[in-house]
Chain A
Amino acid sequence: MATNTKYELKIGPATREGFGRALVALGRENDQVVVCDADLSKSTFTHLFAKEFPERFISCGIAEANMVAIGSGLAASGKIAFVASFSAFVLNKGFEQLRVTAAYPNVPLKVVGTHSGISIGEDGPSQMSIEDLALATSLPGFVVVSPADDVAIFELVKTLAYHPAPCFIRAGRSKAAIIYTEGEKFPIGGSKTLLDGNDLTIIAHGLMVAESIRAAEALEAEGISARVIDMYSIKPHDVEAVHKAVSETGAIVVAEEHLVDGGLGVKIAQTVASATPCVMEFVGVQDRYAESGTPESILDKYGLLARDVISASKKVLARKK
């Protein structure tokens, strides 16, 4: 990945689909992999695993709290245990169980939340997960990732399966633009500098990575050189890349499909403030819930398009000394 990389940003599969395929691949390579789901397997794509490995697929019914703790029991007994549901349900209804049965005893449970953010569209706010990263990252010892595309989630699911700590993997419902080519590796705590630049740095995760690339290309046309970083590893995050962004570009925009409160932006700001501070702006869901609509119309109304990253970039540059 370098300065002159061009991204076609062709529409690819939703990250939930890559999650489902990764589970099948894992199931084939390791008979200790087990998957729990709460009556959403056709939506979370765990049905792919269920079809091939019915004896290792555990239907939990619509009971997320129980599912999380069942998963912890399986993981504590040596299984590579995944629990999956909509992010809004597994994190919110299962939070106390994530805390006491996984985080506190450091049980390496793998939690996957699909349908994250507001881009799920028509189903509306009860199904939209905009607090999940705040919740997941608050749990001591949890590894939290938010992959941007199919390749990223496939690799991250396969990597985190063998990581000896509890993990949360955030996936989306909508089709995701293709950014990476097969074979790319995604170490925990790493990041990807997708475009280099020296006027400012845009740090994004999930679906906002593609929007940030689009924004950077538009800014380039106006003579503004923006660095774009995919901070797929939310916790731990790549502190070194942040420090470099501060010293080399002196301005940061964080763009994410999550509440601004408690999201990655807050964590980046913490890193920035504890070293040499620089100006920052934050693109994300403000202190409110969204509504039903097409994904496009929701992202437009709630300010999560390239356009919004561009205006935040100009704002941050105006404040930069």
Chain B
Amino acid sequence: MTSVETPSFTELEAIAKRVRRDIIEMITAAKSGHPGGSLSAVELLVGLYFDQMKHDPKNPKWTDRDRFILGKGHAAPVLYSVMAEAGYVPKDQLNTLRRMGSIYQGHPDVRFIPALEASTGSLGEGLSVGLGMALAAKMNGSPSRTFVMLGDGEIQEGQIWESAMFGSFHKVDNIVAIVDYNKIQLDGWVKDIMDLEPLGDKWRAFGWHTITIDGHNLSEVRNAYVEAAATKGKPSVIIAHTIKGKGVSFMENNPKFHGSAPSADEFTKAMAELA
């Protein structure tokens, strides 16, 4: 995957659909998990792993690889599915999600999947770890870039803003933060719990090149990553407007599916919609 042709959007859409089906199957099999925030991040992750990132599933510790950290670790199912599609981990075991002994732990765990860059699950820490990795790459003269996906609720954590200050002060221009702005967190709507607005202004005030897109539009996703790569002297953040539960009608914009598994009936309905 170190040198591939640019995939067509049709190909990426097909992968995205398979990933959505995996997510529903995994979480249904596990009887617990976070479907909403996994479904909202599908295009952003498919665009990274199959279009933008330089990485090699056969050589996961390649020094100059691009790195990805899922700050919002509870969206593990989308990452597992994308990594399985890419060939890092076995696809036929995805349905062991959250079971004892499974490599597909409840939140990403490097002890079980060494190809992961970081163990996450405690919100607010991934961007700092990613900045450390990006800084190491710069010090080593490596072309490696680091991508960190943040939940919208996650950026209520104070550490995010400590790391935001750090990133611009140290001119860490090989990092890209991606905010999966699906507007819903566990207890309800973000705007009712701790509003983030004006979000773009906040990141700009902290010295980040800020790109705002529709996070389900693969063309906008590609352009945003390309624009971030071309931005020198400052870090970039992509504020991706997304829909929680995207792709399954009764999960969309429904806080209930932040952290609960579909019932048998709901599973059947969801899979029919994703056919």
List the interface of chain A (C-beta within 8 A of B). 34, 55-56, 58, 60-61, 63, 65-66, 68-79, 81, 96-97, 99-101, 104-106
How many Å from the CB of A142 to the closest CB on chain B? 16
26 contacts between A and B (CB under 8 A): A58-B170, A63-B162, A65-B158, A65-B162, A66-B162, A68-B128, A69-B132, A69-B163, A70-B128, A70-B131, A70-B132, A70-B135, A73-B129, A73-B132, A73-B135, A76-B132, A77-B133, A77-B140, A78-B63, A79-B139, A81-B132, A99-B122, A100-B119, A100-B121, A101-B125, A105-B119
How many Å from the CB of A283 to the closest CB on chain B? 37
Taking a contact as CB atoms under 8 Å apart, the answer to whether A66 and B136 are in contact is no
Query: Of the 9-residue stretches B37-45, B81-89, B110-118, which lies at the interface with chain A?
Result: B110-118
Taking a contact as CB atoms under 8 Å apart, the answer to whether A69 and B165 are in contact is no
Complexed CA–CA distance, A76 and B136 (Å): 9
Q: In the complex, which of the residues B125, B134, B158 has the most CB atoms of chain A within 10 Å of its own CB atom? A: B125
Q: Is the interface on chain B under 10, 10 to 19, 20 to 34, or 35 or more residues?
A: 20 to 34
User: Closest residue of chain B to A106, judged by CB?
Assistant: B111
Taking a contact as CB atoms under 8 Å apart, the answer to whether A74 and B135 are in contact is yes
Complexed CA–CA distance, A49 and B120 (Å): 32
Which residues of A have CB within 8 Å of B110? 105
Complexed CA–CA distance, A79 and B111 (Å): 20
Complexed CA–CA distance, A58 and B137 (Å): 14
Interface of chain B: mostly helix, strand, loop or mixed? helix
User: Closest residue of chain B to A72, judged by CB?
Assistant: B129
Q: In the complex, which of the residues B122, B129, B131, B162 has the most CB atoms of chain A within 10 Å of its own CB atom? A: B129
Which residues of A have CB within 8 Å of B131? 70, 73
User: Closest residue of chain A to B163, judged by CB?
Assistant: A66
Which residues of A have CB within 8 Å of B120? 100
Complexed CA–CA distance, A105 and B63 (Å): 19
Interface of chain A: mostly helix, strand, loop or mixed? helix
User: Closest residue of chain A to B129, judged by CB?
Assistant: A73
If A56-B139, A58-B170, A100-B125 touch, whether A76 touches B162 (CB-CB below 8 Å) is no
Complexed CA–CA distance, A75 and B129 (Å): 10
Which residues of B have CB within 8 Å of A75? 132
In chain B, positions 68-110 with a C-beta closer than 8 Å to chain A are 109-110
| B35 interfacial by beta-carbon distance below 8 Å | no
Complexed CA–CA distance, A63 and B127 (Å): 14
A73-B136, A100-B121, A105-B118 provided; 16 other pairs, C-beta below 8 A? A58-B170, A63-B162, A63-B165, A65-B162, A68-B128, A69-B132, A70-B131, A70-B135, A72-B128, A72-B132, A77-B133, A77-B140, A78-B136, A101-B129, A105-B111, A106-B111
| B130 interfacial by beta-carbon distance below 8 Å | yes
Against A, the Cβ 8 Å flags (1 = close, 0 = not) of B158-193 are: 110011011001100000000000000000000000
How many Å from the CB of B124 to the closest CB on chain A? 8
Taking a contact as CB atoms under 8 Å apart, the answer to whether B166 and A70 are in contact is yes
User: Closest residue of chain B to A74, judged by CB?
Assistant: B132
Which residues of B have CB within 8 Å of A70? 128-129, 131-132, 135, 163, 166
Which residues of A have CB within 8 Å of B140? 77
Complexed CA–CA distance, A284 and B274 (Å): 64
- CB within 8 A of B165: which of A61, A73, A100? A61
How many Å from the CB of A131 to the closest CB on chain B? 21
Which residues of B have CB within 8 Å of A72? 128-129, 132
How many Å from the CB of B129 to the closest CB on chain A? 4
Q: In the complex, which of the residues B122, B132, B137, B163 has the most CB atoms of chain A within 10 Å of its own CB atom? A: B132
Which residues of B have CB within 8 Å of A100? 119-122, 125
Q: Which 10 A-B pairs have the closest CB atoms?
A: A73-B132, A69-B128, A77-B136, A66-B162, A63-B162, A73-B129, A70-B132, A74-B132, A105-B119, A73-B133
